[in-house]
Every structure is written in structure tokens, then in C-alpha cells.
Amino acid sequence: MNDKGKNGNLSFGNAGLMPREEQLETAVRRKKISIGVPNDKKNDEKRVALTPEAVNLLVENGNEVILQKGAGTGANYSDKDYAENGAVITESTARVFSADAVIKVAPFTLQEVDYLKGNQIVMSFLNVLQLSEGTLGKLIRKKVTAIALEKIRDINGAMPVMESMSEISGVTSILVASDYLSNHHGGKGVLLGGITGVTPTEVVIIGANTAGEYAARAALGLGSQVKIFDQSLHNLRKFQNLINQRLQTSVFHPQVLKKALKSADVLIGAIELEDLRPWYYITEEMVKTMKKGSVIIDLSIDRGGCIETTECRALRDPVYEKHGVIHFSAWNLPSRMARTASIALSNIFNPLFQEIAEAGGIIHLLKNDRGMRNGVYLFNGILTNETLAQKFGAISKDLDLLISAF
């Protein structure tokens, strides 16, 4: 028997009888990464992408998590909570933004991009409508691989970040509406729901999707009458089966919608809009016909809004009145329930970073994960998102072709 331990194709080291090509692949796959978590509070954002428990799991697997001081306070996580779970706590913005991967919830600002060292992974919500050409240009010059959290898909084709945030937005919208119908905020003093001998309140929901579903569940749980509108009969039928209760459903018939709005106490806009294509399903004239003191909440405001009278506002100042109707319009409504939202996000990102490390880097993961590729809008500084290309009059490249070159 020939000894191939030195010059042959096989090695008899600690790895045992293993082809050298396989050993090489194994070595690549065991790359560990550093992860930076900036403080988003300046951007009116209270959510944090990783909880202390998630940090513990990442650090236990050999990764480094660098957390900017105070990053978790909005979700009631202290720096001590993170330090005890292995995070490196720093006040240095530059150190956080120099990690192999930087993840934040709010979109990157022009100033934050300056802190990036370049040639790294950056992850955040993209918010196409508000992204400036200057910010995108700087990201391109930094040659980063940038991933939009809201575009990531899982193995089933669903968008886990959007789904979880939509669930929170749906429930929260009803809780907020209930608050602003009460006397506490100068509302009509109406209980959202119904009690014996009193006509229940009416809630109109535009959009038979995840946000609409959870808003409907919350409203029905309080005893309200719920009416659902959508452009698709298939969506309405599916919605009806999910709720498992008989609801008033309708496609967007103008006369039916106008009649429903005249008696509505609450209007929830939950339409999933395409990027760069805001479409007002509820016009200003329709809003004028609503009852004085009724409440409007537009959950699609971060994508332009589906109600003509809504404005994209910060969470610290989301309320205004127009035509006698109370409007609550915050682009990051899930941040109002920051701890729940942070846990939901962390449940997605913790295994994601584990996968990046196990795959040996983002390129290896993207080659095998089509759902992750869906979230990429910059690859090594090359624009790969057609929507952004249309917005700024640029040319986007095919990500699959770019990855195949590596």
C-alpha cells in the first residue's frame, strides 16, 4: 500500500482520511465574522437588530459583536445586558462601523456611510422613496455589499422581516386607534369594540395581507365590525379562511367603499405598494366624507402611502388632524413596540449571521441562497437593484452573473 500522506491526494492529519479539496472547502466554511450594531436612536428608531440572547449565541460560536453604547436602550436592553452576553461595548462610532458586517434597523444616513471602512456587508431597511442619490453614491464608492432587510426571502419565498413587522403593525394600529378614539387624546370618547346595548364601532381595512389580517384579528377581538377591501378576490377569499369568521369583504368598488367610509370609525391602510409607485386608494375627497373624530392609520406610509391625506412622519410626532379626521402616520410604527419587534428581528438575523459565518462569507452564502440574493441592492459596490436604477437613471447589473464570477 502506497503512503500518500505527503505527496498524494489524501491527507492523514487530524481530519482523518479526507481529500485535500474537501479540507480546503471545510477551512473556508469556518470563517468567523465581526458584527457591528450601531445606535439608531438619532434616527427616531428604538428597535435593535440583535438581542443580548442572540449576541450570546453568536459569541459562543466564535464571532465578535461590537455594540455602540446605548444601542439597545430603546428596547429596554442595557449595555450591561449585552456585556454580560459577550458583546464589546464601545462609544466609538468608527469602531462599530468598521466591523465585517454592520446591521442597523433605520436606513443608513449620509454621515453614517462616511464611517464605513468599505468592502464589508451592510444591512438595514432600505426605504427606496427616501434614499438620496448622495447616500447611494457613497455606498457605491465604499464598495460594500448592501442588503435591504425588507427584501430578504426565506426558503418558502416569504419575506420574514416584512411579515413579522407587518404582524406587529397590524395589531399596534388597532391599539393606537383605540387610544385616539378615547377622551385621553381628545377623541370622541368611543370605545373601540362594542358592549351590550351599544352599537359596535366600525373598522375599515384596505388590504387583505398580513398587516390587514392582524389588524382584523385585533379589531374583532375587541368586538368591532370589520370590513375588508382588496383588489383581488383570491386574497379576500384567503383572508376570510385565515380569520375563520364571516366578514364583510369587497373588491375596490367606489360606491361600496365610499359608503363604508361614511360610517367608519377607523380606517387602516395596509396596501402593499410597489416601490416608486405610490397609489392613493383613498382620495382626499373620500376622507372628507368620514365622520368627525374618526381615525386614519396608513401602514404603507413608508412606501408612499395609500391614503392621499397621510404624511410620512416621525414616531415622536405622528399625529395631526385633517378635515376633522385624526391621522396617525409614523413610518416605523413597529418601533412603538420596540422590544417585541427587536426580538422578532433578532430571531431572523441571529441564524442569518451564523449562516454567513458557516458559509465562509457573504459570497458563498449568496451563491446558494436565492432568498438572500433578493435583498441585495449593491454587490461589492455594483448596483444590482432595478428599482434604484430607475429612480436615479443608472444601470443595474445582474447579481447572478456577478456572483458566478467568484
Distance CA 366, CA 354 (A): 14
Q: What is the CATH number of the domain that holds 208?
A: 3.40.50.720
Q: Are residues 245 and 352 in the same domain?
A: no
Q: Are residues 35 and 66 in the same domain?
A: yes
Q: Are residues 134 and 263 in the same domain?
A: no
Q: Are residues 365 and 349 in the same domain?
A: yes
pLDDT along the chain (406 residues), means of 10: 40 37 45 93 88 97 97 97 98 97 96 96 92 96 97 93 97 97 87 91 97 96 95 94 89 93 97 75 95 95 91 92 95 95 97 91 90 96 95 94 86
| The pLDDT of residue 26 | 43
Is 194 part of any domain?
Answer: yes
For 68, the 3-state DSSP assignment is: strand
| The pLDDT of residue 151 | 95
β-bridge partners, 227:
204, 248
| The pLDDT of residue 1 | 43
| The pLDDT of residue 21 | 40
What is the DSSP code (8-state) at residue 373?
H
Cell 453604547 identifies what position? 69
| The pLDDT of residue 142 | 97
Q: Are residues 110 and 242 in the same domain?
A: no
- Which of residues 282, 302, 331 is at a domain's end? 331
Is 352 part of any domain?
Answer: yes
Cβ count within 10 A of residue 97: 22
Q: Are residues 122 and 175 in the same domain?
A: no
Q: Are residues 325 and 342 in the same domain?
A: no
Is 5 part of any domain?
Answer: no
SS3 content of the chain, % helix, strand, coil (to 5): 40, 15, 40
The residue length of the chain stands at: 406
Is 248 part of any domain?
Answer: yes
Closest CA to 202 of 186, 219, 214: 219
| The pLDDT of residue 17 | 39
Continuous segment of H or E residues that includes residue 359: helix 338-359
Q: Are residues 174 and 205 in the same domain?
A: yes
- Which of residues 315, 331, 347 is at a domain's end? 331
CA angle in degrees (0–180, nearest 5) for 271-276-281: 35
Is 9 part of any domain?
Answer: no
Give the range of the structural domain holding residue 89, as residue numbers without chain letter. Answer: 21-151+337-404
Cell 449585552 identifies what position? 82
Closest CA to 284 of 242, 313, 323: 323
- Which of residues 331, 358, 387 is at a domain's end? 331
Is 285 part of any domain?
Answer: yes
Q: How many domains does the chain have?
A: 2
Q: Are residues 172 and 86 in the same domain?
A: no
pTM of the shown model: 0.89
| The pLDDT of residue 235 | 94
One-letter identity of residue 119: N
Q: How far is CA 278 from CA 184, 308, 345, in A?
A: 33, 10, 26
Distance CA 267, CA 204 (A): 5
Helix axes 210-222, 233-243, angle to 10 degrees: 40
Is 13 part of any domain?
Answer: no
| The pLDDT of residue 290 | 96
